[in-house]
């Protein structure tokens, strides 16, 4: 539930922030070409920082989730060895879903770095 709320807040912030960023960048381009270059460089720098922090947090969260999943599977197998196969199958599905979240973060980071829509051409 928290993820959905944070995602909605991020989308709303991006939707409302787009007009301001475009207006600021358009003003900067009209004022002087050098100002647009500075704005582009700052945006690239902030994109790199955001990508690094985002990937770091995603990797940290994924590692914690995978550790908890593996610990629960080991504990379940120790309690009931007959269910070991089913628990392992469920664990691998859960690990794939956890890893998918980290890969989604990687995709968003790559978009922010290489296909940033806010950069002025």
pLDDT per residue over 102-115, tens digit each?
999 999 888 888 88
pLDDT per residue over 27-66, tens digit each?
555 555 667 777 788 888 888 888 889 899 999 999 999 9
Distance set, CA 121 to CA 27, 41, 66, 73, 78 (Å) = 14, 12, 42, 52, 60
pTM: 0.63
Q: Would the pLDDT of 12 be above 60?
A: no
pLDDT given at position 62: 93
Measuring CA to CA, which residue among 35, 17, 48, 26 is closest to residue 116? Answer: 48
- Annotate 68-89 with three-state secondary structure: HHHHHHHHHHHHCHHHHHHHHH
Q: Would the pLDDT of 117 be above 80?
A: no
Place of tokens 């902030």: 46
Q: Average pLDDT in the 79-102 region?
A: 93
Distance set, CA 66 to CA 4, 33, 83, 103 (Å) = 21, 49, 20, 14
Domain 37-114: state its class.
mainly alpha
Higher-scoring residue by pLDDT: 57, 117? 57
pLDDT given at position 6: 60
Q: Would the pLDDT of 95 be above 80?
A: yes
pLDDT given at position 14: 59
Give the angle 14-11-3 at the CA atoms, nearest 5°: 140
């Amino acid at each position: 539930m928290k993820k959905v709320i944070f995602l909605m807040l991020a989308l709303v912030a991006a939707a409302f922030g787009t007009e301001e960023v475009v207006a600021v960048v358009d003003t900067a381009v009209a004022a002087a070409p050098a100002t647009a270059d500075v704005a582009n460089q700052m945006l690239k720098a902030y994109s790199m920082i955001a990508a690094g922090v985002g990937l770091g947090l995603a990797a940290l969260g994924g590692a914690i989730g995978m550790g908890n999943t593996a610990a629960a599977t080991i504990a379940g197998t120790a309690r009931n060895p007959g269910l070991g196969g089913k628990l392992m199958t469920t664990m691998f599905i859960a690990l794939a879903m956890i890893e998918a979240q980290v890969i989604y973060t990687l995709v968003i980071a790559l978009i922010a770095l290489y296909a940033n829509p806010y950069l002025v051409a």
